[in-house]
Amino acid sequence: MEKLKLIIIQPQKIVLETEFDDIIIPGKDGDFGVFYGHTPFISVIRPGVMEIYNDKEVTKYALHDGYVTVENNVVTILCELIERAEEVDKTRAEAAKERAEKRIKSNQSDIDFRRAENALKKAVARITIS
């Protein structure tokens, strides 16, 4: 099976460069898969779980806001933050989830609901991979 190349870039550096069989990425309008020979495109990434499939192994990451491009069997992700399971403090993520849920459920006029919803998505992604 032919491999695709993945490059993940954060503002400070390239954090991952590897080859893989296929990948599931949390896009703005839903999760999507990329396989060898995929049509080129650009998409916005939402906070969620990214799954990389390689030689029958799956590696999961919590992926936060960013962009992805697919072209010539190269997937390039530009993101603020990506976390592996061993980097996640599950207790802290669960507390963040509870705080975000409380903010969303409150009817206070000074709550930024989009920000609270984004915090909730990030916390759920962290909990899912941990």
Q: What is the pLDDT of residue 108?
A: 78
Using H for helix, E for strand and C for coil, what is the string for the chain?
CCCEEEEEEECCEEEEEEEECEEEEEECCEEEEECCCCCCEEEEECCEEEEEEECCEEEEEEECCEEEEEECCEEEEEECCEEEHHHCCHHHHHHHHHHHHHHHHCCCCCCCHHHHHHHHHHHHHHHHHC
Q: Which residue segment(s) compose the domain that 43 sits in?
A: 4-84
My answer on whether 14 and 60 are in the same domain is yes
The verdict on 65 and 26 lying in the same domain is yes
In this model, does residue 117 exceed pLDDT 90?
no
For residue 105, name the pLDDT band (cuts at 50, 70, 90): confident
Q: Are residues 32 and 77 in the same domain?
A: yes
Same domain assignment for residues 73 and 52 = yes
Side chain identity at 19, as an amino acid letter?
E
Q: For residue 130, what pLDDT band results from cuts at 50, 70 and 90?
A: confident
Domain count within the chain: 2
Output the pLDDT for position 114: 85
pTM of the model: 0.85
16 with 31, same domain: the answer is: yes
